[in-house]
Amino acid sequence: MDLQGRVLLTLFVVSAAVVAIFVLIAVRSRGPALSQEAVQGPGYAVRRWWFFLLVAVLTLAFGASLPFYPYSRAQAEGDTVEFTVIAQQFSFSNLPQEVPLNTPVVFNVTSSDVTHGFAIYDPADRLVGQVQAMPEYDNQLRVTFTERGRYTVRCLEYCGLAHHLMEGGFEVR
């Protein structure tokens, strides 16, 4: 399963758990009631645990995600291939026809009119990477393609009436 699939699964699993908890609590609200004082003591104790659990989960998640930040501008190994692409309403200029397989590739992207998006979809139409294409600024998308075939480039930042038609492509060989 690709990464987005796993993220979606995480969302559904956690959602199911949350719904279950809420249903349980709602069901337990019927029947003989306890006073607020009786509930508070144990309730606040549980809250302390909940607080620490949540902080721990979030800290771990943050720490685990830091190494995957896409912002390092460290120069890659010598055989990085660079392409420059200009986005404009409603197409991508200077897209390469062919991109090498299993090679670090850098797309330098900007726009000549409005902000566009530069999003690459693999031959199975799965999103593999994206970056913004903002006028007057350059953004770099670093990616290594491990699969041969026809890749599609789409604009993902709303840019006008033909936004959904703005498409390009290249072959990875």
Partner 1 sequence: MPATTEPRATVNALPRVYLLLVLGAVAVAVGIFAIGLPDPHLSVRNHHIQHVFFILGGGLYGLALAMGLTANKHGKTWPGRGVWLAPALLASLVVMVAMWPSTYPVIEANPTLHALQHGFYIVASAVATFCAYYFARSAGWIMGGMQVVMAWAAAFGFGVNPGPSPLIAQVAAMPATASAGGGAAAYQNCVACHMADGGGMPGVFPPLAGHVSNLLAAEGGQEYMVRVVLYGLQGQISAAGSSYAGAMPGWGHLSDDDLAAALNHVSSTWGELPATASAPFSAADVQAARGTQLTPQQVHELRGRLGLP
Partner 2 sequence: MTEQLQPSETVATGAKLTVEEDAAGVAAGRRLMNLFLATGLALVFVLMLVGLLMRLSQAEWLPLDPAWFYSLMTLHGAGMIAALVLCGMGGVWYLVRREAHMDVRLGYAAYGLLLGGVLLVLAATVVGKFAAGWTTLYPLPFVNPTWPFWSTGAFFIGLMLITAGFSVWSFQVLEAVMRAFGGLRGALGFDLVFNAKAFKASGRQPPPAQILPAAVIAIDGLIMATASMLLGAAMLVRWLDPSVGIDPLWAKNLGYFFGHLLANYIIYMLLAFVYVGLPRFTNRKWKTNAPFVIGWWGTMVFLLTAYAHHLYLDFAQPVAMQVLGHVASYLSAIPVAVVTVYGAILLVWRSGMRWTLGSLFMYVGLAGWILGGVGALLDATVQFNTLLHNTLWVPGHFHSYLLGGSLYFALGWVFQSLEERTTATTSRSVKWLVGVTVFGGTALFVAAFYVAGAAGVPRRFALAQDPSASLAGVGSVGAVVLIAGLVLCLVEGLRLWRSGRTAPVRAAVAPLLAGVTNVGEVQGD
Output 39 or 81, the one with its CB closest to partner 2.
39
Output 8 or 95, the one with its CB closest to partner 1.
95
Q: Residue 76 interacts with partner 2 (CB under 8 A)?
A: no
Inter-residue contact 137 to 111 (CB < 8 Å):
no
Q: Residue 45 interacts with partner 2 (CB under 8 A)?
A: no
Measured between alpha carbons, how far apart are the two ends of the chain, in Å?
A: 24
Q: Which of 45, 50, 56, 82 binds partner 2 (CB under 8 A)?
A: 50
Q: What is the 3-state secondary structure (H, E, C) of 29-94?
A: CCCCCCCHHHHHHHHHHHHHHHHHHHHHHHHHHHHHHHHHCCCCCCCCCCCCEEEEEEEECCEEEC
User: Nearest 5 degrees, angle CA 140-CA 91-CA 79?
Assistant: 35
Q: Choosing among partner 1, partner 2, none, which partner's interface includes residue 84 (Cβ < 5 to 8 Å by kind)?
A: partner 1
Output 62 or 98, the one with its CB closest to partner 2.
62
Inter-residue contact 105 to 145 (CB < 8 Å):
yes
Six-digit token pair at 172?
A: 């990875």
Q: Choosing among partner 1, partner 2, none, which partner's interface includes residue 149 (Cβ < 5 to 8 Å by kind)?
A: none
Q: In this structure, what are the phi and psi dihedrals at residue 25, rounded to the nearest 5 degrees? A: -65, -40
In sign, the C-alpha dihedral spanning 105, 62, 155, 157 is: negative
Window 103-122: residues binding partner 1 (CB under 8 A)? 108, 110, 112-113
Please report, as ranges, the residues that interact with partner 2 according to CB under 8 A. 3-5, 7-8, 10-11, 14-15, 18-19, 22, 25-26, 28-34, 36, 39-40, 43, 47, 50-51, 54-55, 58, 61-62, 65, 68-71, 89, 113-115, 117, 119, 121, 125-132, 134-140, 154, 156-164
Please report, as ranges, the residues that interact with partner 1 according to CB under 8 A. 84, 86, 88-91, 93-94, 108, 110, 112-113, 135-138, 161-162, 165-167
